[in-house]
Amino acid sequence: MAPLVNPHFCTTLRSSAAVVILLVLSCTTSDAAEPDAPATLIGRTEAIRVAIQEHLADKFLSTRDDREEQKALVEYYSGSEARLLWVDENGLSSRGKSVIQEIEKADDYGLHSSDYALPDRGGLSSGNANAADWLAEAEIKVSSAVLDYVRDARGGRIEPVRLSPNLDPTLTLPHPQEVIESIVLQSDPASYLRSFQPKHPQFEALRQKLIELRGGKLLKANKVIQIPQIPDGPLLRFGVEHEQVALLRKRLDLPPGQNENLFDEVVQQAVMHFQYQHGSYPDGIVGPGTRRLLNPTHPRDPDNALSVKTVLVNMERWRWLPEDLGSFYVTVNVPEFMLRVMAEGKPIFTARVVVGAPDTQTPIFSQEMQEIVFNPYWSVPNSIKTEEILPYIQKTGGNSFFGGGRWNTNILTSHGLRINIGGHEIDPSKLDWGRIDIRSLDIYQPPGPDNVLGNVKFLFPNKHDVYMHDTPQKLLFDRRVRAESHGCIRAQQPDELALTLLNHDEGWKAAEVAGAIAKGYDQHVALKQRIPVHITYFTLWVNDDGSVSSFSDVYGHDARMSEGLLGDGVVSDTSSRANEVSAGRAQDRNRARRSRGVTDSINSF
């Protein structure tokens, strides 16, 4: 019996983990049946299984696809007991049809149904000599679409940190092999697919807004206009002549042309514009996903195309968060400049915050709070040491040729900064600053009324070295836009925040918090149970009454995400403003550095 894969390739293929299982079957199994063998000899189902294995092998040989999704398909379909999931001898099974229908609804969940290559449900005719090949390809397409859909539903469409190093959520993507093994056992695979969509109430509220914005009765000049419906049918694309094209022209408010049933360039451009406005990929093809967008069921404002994009990017951000935020957690929404402590899904404490400036952004990530520090020391970051302090340490007096003189270190003493070497405080004027790497020095500000961290610091260790803290600059909380810091988060009413957290964790009362602030320096209180902290970036929020609150895109992340998700290359006005603010702020800081020294940098930490 001839092997399914040319033995010449076997050694090469063995080097790829994606095809190890498949090679065992295709390179060494001697009793595998030929895919073209008569069905009466091996049975049609077995012929389909063999054809699937051959298709997977051919795909690797032609594309060297070693993604985890491809490995999972190889692993499953190379098993001797693997059963067909989506097709049977007669075509797509009921399971296959239900899964396809669910994936075609992807646009309702902020995804793109056009991203998933699904089989044509009417593509198999009775008596087709290549039926086994068609069914094998259909089986693989649906399985591949399932794995891609699940990955996308959990936030795998884009890698956030590639858009910006300050977008650093921890994605939890399902393992493809586990998905395949689980869906085999599901009596309702469509419901199983839906289960990977975020379950957060706000995601569902945004989803409903998306459906509302994309569909319904157009409102123009206070008149309700009934929109023509485009029924299910074939793919409509350039060059196709079909009676539904005439309906499509009416739906898009186009003239009949010389042939109203012809999908010409005018129709193609109108379809692409419609898709773009509704946040869908503008391929100019009317398939199931675009039909759903064309057939509205809810009222919408026709001028809300940008709002659709804003809904889409904010829905995507919910995919970046853990499925379980925790029963008790802290969340900071950067564009809103607000902090909330949540218990059982309800806010029990709310405070204003000051976040990073556009050129020193607060990163977006999740971590766990481990410790609260009362009356903390402030260790000066290396960036401030080198860029803000060192330029002001100058040698005075003496002779440049014969030496002598002293170092002017007033910049340190005027801001209460001290130096520790080997556990001993050192007089900075006695150091030879011409020979010292300032980054190697422990420069700190002791606790006190002028300490930039105030009375309390909240630690949730992370690679960005970002934390929450008090501040002596209370007036900043009165500003509407509070993007002023070096990246850390300053919280209003930090003593109340500490009380809320420690009361939950250790049963502390207000007197205990006040005592901790009053009695000691650098008092560390380790939390018995770590508290999740989610630093988020939501520019859109659906309120309980259905109204929507929007917040300025202070860092320009909406535009970056729109580019990454939709590829539209459009930079929003808010992004431009953020860049202008960032550039202006940098210039202001350079001027301040020259005129006032390190004061602003320390105060803005």
The average pLDDT across 285-293 equals 86
pLDDT for res 212: 85
Task: Indicate the length of the chain as a whole number.
Answer: 605
pLDDT for res 140: 94
Residue 369 pairs in a beta bridge with 531
Q: Work out the pLDDT band at 62, boundaries 50, 70, 90.
A: low
Q: Quick one: tokens of 374?
A: 């009362």
Span 429-449, pLDDT tens digits: 889 998 889 999 999 999 988
The mean of the pLDDT values for the chain is 82
Asked if residues 59 and 65 have their Cβ atoms less than 8 Å apart, the reply is yes
Residues 6+ apart with CB under 8 A from 133: 35, 51, 55
Q: Work out the pLDDT band at 125, boundaries 50, 70, 90.
A: low
pLDDT for res 571: 40
Minimum mean pLDDT among 224-238, 336-350, 356-370, 393-407: which range?
Answer: 393-407
Span 318-337, pLDDT tens digits: 999 999 999 999 999 999 99
Q: Work out the pLDDT band at 302, boundaries 50, 70, 90.
A: very low
> For 445, phi and psi rounded to 5 degrees?
-120, 120
pLDDT for res 126: 54
Span 30-54, pLDDT tens digits: 344 444 544 444 577 888 888 888 8
The average pLDDT across 305-309 equals 68
Q: Work out the pLDDT band at 278, boundaries 50, 70, 90.
A: low
Residues 6+ apart with CB under 8 A from 253: none
Asked if residues 377 and 384 have their Cβ atoms less than 8 Å apart, the reply is no
Most confident of 7-21, 182-196, 376-390: 182-196
State which H helix or E strand residue 334 sits in.
Answer: none
Domain 322-603: CATH superfamily, name plus number = L,D-transpeptidase catalytic domain-like (2.40.440.10)
In the chain, ranges of CATH 2.40.440.10 domains: 322-603
pLDDT for res 568: 57
In the chain, ranges of CATH 1.10.101.10 domains: 201-317
Asked if residues 460 and 532 have their Cβ atoms less than 8 Å apart, the reply is no
Looking at per-residue confidence, does 450 or 572 come out higher? Answer: 450
Strand order in the sheet with 442-445: 378-379, 442-445, 418-421, 424-426
Please tell me the distance from the alpha carbon of residue 429 to that of residue 426, in angstroms, as a whole number.
9
pLDDT for res 16: 46
The average pLDDT across 172-201 equals 95
Residues 6+ apart with CB under 8 A from 579: 358, 556
Q: Which architecture, in CATH terms, is 201-317?
A: Orthogonal Bundle (1.10)
Q: Quick one: tokens of 468?
A: 């929450």
Q: Work out the pLDDT band at 276, boundaries 50, 70, 90.
A: low
> For 465, phi and psi rounded to 5 degrees?
55, 45
Residue 88's closest CA among 40, 34, 123, 131?
Answer: 131
pTM of the complete model: 0.75
Minimum mean pLDDT among 55-59, 123-127, 153-157, 255-259: which range?
Answer: 123-127
Q: Quick one: tokens of 328?
A: 């008790």
Please tell me the distance from the alpha carbon of residue 562 to that of residue 552, in angstroms, as a whole number.
15
Residues 6+ apart with CB under 8 A from 126: none
Looking at per-residue confidence, does 305 or 406 come out higher? Answer: 406
Span 465-523, pLDDT tens digits: 999 999 999 999 999 899 999 999 999 999 999 999 999 999 999 999 999 999 878 99
pLDDT for res 525: 96
**Secondary structure in 3-state letters for 294-334:** HCCCCCECCCCHHHHHHHHHHHHHHHHCCCCCCCEEEEEEH
Q: What percent of the chain has pLDDT over 90?
A: 58
Q: Is the pLDDT of residue 80 over 80?
A: no
